[in-house]
Amino acid sequence: MNTEEMYQSMKLKLERVVPDVELRIKAELAVEINRLKKERNAVILGHNYMEPALFNSIPDFVGDSLELSRKAAQTEKDIIVFCGVKFMAETAKILNPSKTVLVPSAKAGCSLAASITADDVRALKKKFPGVPVVTYINTYADVKAESDICCTSGNAKAVVESLKTDTIIFLPDEYLAGNVARETGKHVIFPTQGMGNLQFDTTLDYQMVGWNGRCEVHDKFTVQDIKNVREQFPDVIILAHPECSPAVVEASDYSGSTTAMIRYVKETKAPHYLILTECSMGDNIAAENPDKEMLRLCTVRCPHMNTITMEDTLEALKQTRYVIEIPEEIRAKAFIAVDRMIKIG
């Protein structure tokens, strides 16, 4: 595709959400990225949170964490460029040790991944011996390596149910644990901080042991936000990612992974939708559904996902940066947990 063709194809999808002057610049960038992608035998995976111009031009595949893990597992290309955050690129490397995996920004972290260490998991396993550890994919490789199985927002319930045990350790998202507990009818206990030590009230009836990690974005949505929006738009349908608090999820009309929310809007017909997740995804849904009104709370943004730009993706391909490296003994252990999850379907 030449620049004019790229511009026309982007315009077709994005003219209502991206100003024309920006589209022309992004089209030029997209052509250069796609040329280098071919030259370097690379594949670009784009998370649903990528900004509209990037999302609609350079990825070979877009999706949620689960779908992109599957694509990463299947690729034949030499280089995987992950337009998402570091833990996602690490998952691609865990599944493809012989390939070069790049993340375009060195700053693309995640508050959930930063909330727990491998030492924390080892301490929990010591406190609850023999209890299987389920770890959210939003964690780093060394934490995954200490786990029995991973899960994403798209399969957390299925993964928990697949274990067929009375008790599990579910890390590190406190809210996802609460939402899974609600869906599966389990009780969850969380640590309390005391005298520098983590303590659990194990006298309580519990089937899940959680951790106090939170997504800094989804943590900010409140039940009051939902009440305010419903008052202003009584016919609104509200969708909340399961990283939102259980109270917010309960007050919403639908909860699911980023792809599940995209699908829900596509397949239903309501006058207004409010998506409680990273704002760019609202732009992408609005672009795909010109007949539907999307409401967004854009004061809440993911500072990590928003460091991924087309300019940096071009530099990533030019300079082969930033390369994901994982020590082999950690990668091999983490592979078992990720692969088990992928096999669950």
* Site for ligand SF4, rule CB under 6 A: 85, 110-112, 138, 215-217, 243, 278, 302, 304-305
Q: CB under 8 Å to 287, separation ≥6 — which residues?
A: 13, 14, 16, 17, 52, 56
Tell me how far, at minimum, the Cβ of 32 lies from ligand SF4, in Å. 27
Token pair recorded at residue 72:
């990463």
Nearby residues of 37 by Cβ (< 8 Å), 6 or more positions away:
43, 44, 58, 81, 317
Cβ contacts of 158 within 8 Å, gap of 6 or more: 344, 345
Q: How far is the CB of 238 from ligand 13P (least distance, A)?
A: 17
Task: Write down the least CB distance from residue 105 to ligand SF4, Å.
Answer: 12
Select from 111, 143, 316 the least CA-distant residue to 214: 111
Shorter beta-carbon distance to ligand 13P: residue 65 or 207: 65
**Residues lying near ligand 13P in the complex (CB under 6 A):** 48, 64-65, 138, 152-154, 215, 241, 243, 257-258
Please identify, using beta-carbon distances, which residue of 65 and 147 lies nearer to ligand 13P.
Answer: 65
**CA dihedral sign of residues 72, 77, 78, 81:** negative
- Under DSSP, is residue 104 helix (H, G, I), strand (E, B) or coil? coil
**Nearer Cβ to ligand 13P, position 64 or 146?**
64
CA-to-CA dists, residue 84 to 134, 303, 324, 327, angstroms: 22, 12, 13, 21
7 or 136: whose CB is closer to ligand SF4? 136
65 binds, among ligand SF4, ligand 13P, none (CB under 5 to 8 A by kind): ligand 13P
Measured from the CB atom, the residue of 48 and 207 that comes closer to ligand 13P is: 48
As measured in angstroms, the least distance from the Cβ of 17 to ligand SF4 is: 20
Q: Using CB distances below 5 to 8 A depending on partner kind, what does residue 257 bind out of ligand 13P, ligand SF4, none? A: ligand 13P
